[in-house]
Amino acid sequence: MNTNGANTASKLSFKDKVALVTGAGSGLGLAAAQAFAASGASVVLADWNEESVISAAEELTAQGHKALAIRCDVADDAQVEAMVAQTVATFGRLDAAYNNAGVQNVLAETADSPRDDYDRVMSINLRGVWSCMKFELQQMRKQGSGAIVNCSSLGGLVGGAERGTYHAAKHGVLGLTKSAALEYAARGIRINAICPGLFWTPMADQMVASGQGEALDAMLKMIPMGRHGRVEEIADAVLFLCSEAASYVTGQSISVDGGFVMR
């Protein structure tokens, strides 16, 4: 009897595992948190928006899953350290982390880019990922196991007019990912990144509200698959990279973009 299907399913299971997701109150983070829960994990949902993350965790709990909501601003090292400590205090360990929290920059040419906006974007999109990895890895190093997925972007692979601050941060995420992956490759810990393309999330709504609707429409026309991504398609990629099915994958950046970067 062919058992390959059963073996693959078991490799994608997160039964008795603990997963942490930042930016989990909506969009890509929420979809990933829901997918981890559906795959058997105890899930910690972290977000600066306390109301949204509590609501999301309560919904998962009502469905019979183990879920914990934590308010966390990833730009604050103390809050990140406390988030990881509370995860371990509640569930005993940390097996998977998806560092997803991020923000867009104020549209401006480089010569006109506000310093305070640069600091804001970098503190969340780059330093926030660094901080999350720092404290997640301290726990995973003790365990001798774990998997981390950092959220970069197509903006981590290409440039974008008036979006240099955002793209610089997302490029930086890939450098952090590769460097940390090298450090822990022989110690049972894998670290990868995903580069989402065009997904319709609350962040996309904010981009439209800020006047970037035409740019998004133009980008859609450049996607070979001819459509927006579905949030569950990011969740699938995150769970794969955190699972035993990806046991020989580390230091990679995977584009989930409908083929955009093929051009």
- Distance between CA 145 and CA 88 in Å, rounded? 14
Using the predicted structure, report yes or no on whether residue 3 has a pLDDT greater than 60: no
pTM for this one? 0.93
Using the predicted structure, report yes or no on whether residue 205 has a pLDDT greater than 70.
no
Structure tokens given for 235: 């969740």
Question: What integer pLDDT is reported at residue 169 of this predicted model?
Answer: 98
Predicted confidence (pLDDT) at residue 195 exceeds the cutoff of 90 = yes
What is the C-alpha to C-alpha distance for residues 204 and 202, in angstroms, rounded to an integer? Answer: 5
Tokens coding 18: 């603990």
> What distance in Å separates the CA atoms of residue 258 and residue 235, rounded to the nearest whole number?
15
Mean pLDDT across the chain, nearest whole number?
93
What's the 3-state SS for 165-179?
HHHHHHHHHHHHHHH
pLDDT of residue 11: 87
8-254 belongs to CATH 3.40.50.300: no
Q: What is the mean pLDDT of residues 184-211?
A: 84
Q: Which residues are catalytic?
A: 166
Whole-angstrom distance, CA of residue 207 vs CA of residue 38: 30
pLDDT category at 78 given cuts 50, 70, 90 is very high
Residue 142 contacts by C-beta under 8 Å, 6 or more apart in sequence? Answer: none
Domain ranges of the chain: 8-254
Closest CA to 149 of 19, 61, 260: 19
Three-state secondary-structure class, residue 256? strand
